[in-house]
Amino acid sequence: MTKIAVTGASGNLGSATLEFLLGRHAPRDLIAIVRDPAKATALAAKGVEVRRGDYTDPASLENALRGVERLAFISTNVVGEERLLQHGNVIKAARQAGVRHIFYTSVTKPAADARFAASPGHFHTEVLIRDSGIAYTFFRNNLYLDLVPLMFGGALATGTLAHNGGDGRIGFVSRRDIAEALAAALTSDGHAGRSYAITAPSPYGLADVAAALGRAAGKSIAYLPLSSEDFRKALEGIPLPPAVVAMSIGLGEAIRAGEFDAASNDVQALIGRTPATLDAFLKAAIPR
C-alpha cells in the first residue's frame, strides 16, 4: 500500500488530516512527522508510525521522509525569509529521500506582491516545488471558518463588526473540510499537476459575516466599514500588540483587494458533500 506522510502532524490541520486518513488507509502505511514525537502518542497508539522531522533541521527531514511516496506538506506558520528557508528544507529533503508526490497547503491567489503577509511565501514555495521535479498538487486554501469567531467575535459584545475589509469577500472553508479533502486526494489518483481552489462555493462579504454572527447569537450585528487608519486606532485602543495590529490591518487590506474573493466547487468534488457553511459553522461554534 502507498506510504503517506503528513508533516506538522501534531498541529490542527495535520492531525485532522491524519484522522480522515485513518478512515481511508491502513495505519501501518501512514507516517506522522512531528517536531516532538511526545505530542503524537495518540497517533502512535492507533498504529501510525511517528517520525521526528523539524523544518529547521534538514537531516531530520530527510530521515523522516525515507520511503514516503505521497507527502502532505503542511505549510509552516512563520512568514518571510524564515518560511522560505524552512519550506526549502522540506522540498530538498523530499527530493533527496525520493518522495514521489507533494501535496502542498498553499493559499488562495498566491502572489509575490500580495498584501496578505503569508501569500508571497506560498507563491515562492509553489515555484520551488515545481522546480524540484517532484509531482505536485496545490491546495490553495482560503481562510478557515474556524477563524471567524476569533477575528470577528468582538462584534458579539458590541453589536458592530468594524473592519477595514471594505466590500471584499472571503470564501471561508472549515479546517475539517480541508483536512477531509486533503485525505481524499492523498488516497486517490489523478491529482498530479493540479491546483485546487479550496474555498466556499459562494464567498461571503463582511456584512454577511456580521449577519451570520447575529443569527448564531440571537442578536442584531451590523457591519461598519472603516478606513485602515481608523481600524488601526480602534485596534490600538483595545489595546493590541503592534505586531497584531499590523497583521490585522494587512489582512483587512488583502480582503478589500479581493485576495480571498474566490468561489469553487473543488471541495465538494473531493469530499462528496456540501462543505460547511458560515451559518452552520457559527451555529455550532457560538453558544446562545
3-class SS at 140?
Answer: strand
Q: Compute the distance between CA of residue 231 and CA of residue 225 in angstroms, rounded to an integer.
A: 9
| Residues in the chain where the model's pLDDT stays below 50 | none
Residue ranges per domain, the chain? 4-141, 142-173+199-262+275-288
Q: What is the pTM of this model?
A: 0.96
Give the pLDDT confidence score for residue 161 in this predicted structure.
98
Give the pLDDT confidence score for residue 287 in this predicted structure.
83
**DSSP element (H, E) containing 33:** strand 30-34
Q: How far is CA 100 from CA 124, 129, 141, in A?
A: 20, 12, 22
Give the pLDDT confidence score for residue 233 in this predicted structure.
96
Instruction: Tell me the CATH class for 142-173+199-262+275-288.
Output: alpha beta
The three cell numbers of residue 227 are 478606513
3-class SS at 262?
Answer: coil
Fold of the 4-141 domain: Rossmann fold (3.40.50)
3-class SS at 91?
Answer: helix
Instruction: Give the largest CA-CA distance in the chain.
Output: 56
